[in-house]
Amino acid sequence: MEVIKLVDKKPISKQGIKVGKQGEKIFITLDEQKFYEIPPAVYTLLCICDGTRTLEEIAIMLCKDTDTNVEDAKKILSTVLNELTETGFIEWI
């Protein structure tokens, strides 16, 4: 499923994601068998994905604090959200 085709849908973090920290590192898992190390920005994105905002709304929100324009942010977010979807951490509603 490609994120680009989900323009009107809203990403939501899957129920049951467990988060762990070891020093500065952040790890997430769904099944406690396979763990993924993620950057703090990806963790923030997972927290933002609550099913109430579209990809564009998330991009606009994140651009307020950076020098990135919305179109560039959407491309970056599409890549990250696609990976999170493929690994099962994000669903689309």
Per-residue exposure over 18-34, b if at least 16 CB sit within 10 Å of its own CB, e if not:
eeeeeeeebebebeeee
* Residue among 37, 30, 32 at smallest CA distance from 15: 30
Domain extents for the chain? Answer: 3-92
The pLDDT assigned to 65 comes to: 77
What is the pLDDT of the chain when averaged over all its residues?
Answer: 91
Q: Whole-angstrom Cα distance, residue 34 to residue 31? A: 7
- Model pLDDT for residues 4-30, shown as the tens digit of each residue: 456 789 999 999 999 999 999 999 999
The two tokens of residue 44 are: 């923030």
- Model pLDDT for residues 24-44, shown as the tens digit of each residue: 999 999 999 999 999 999 999
Residue with tokens 């991009």: 59
- Model pLDDT for residues 35-88, shown as the tens digit of each residue: 999 999 999 999 999 999 999 999 999 898 788 899 999 999 999 999 999 999
Q: Whole-angstrom Cα distance, residue 42 to residue 36? A: 11
Topology of 3-92 in CATH?
Answer: Outer Surface Protein A; domain 3 (3.90.930)
Residue with tokens 């085709």: 5
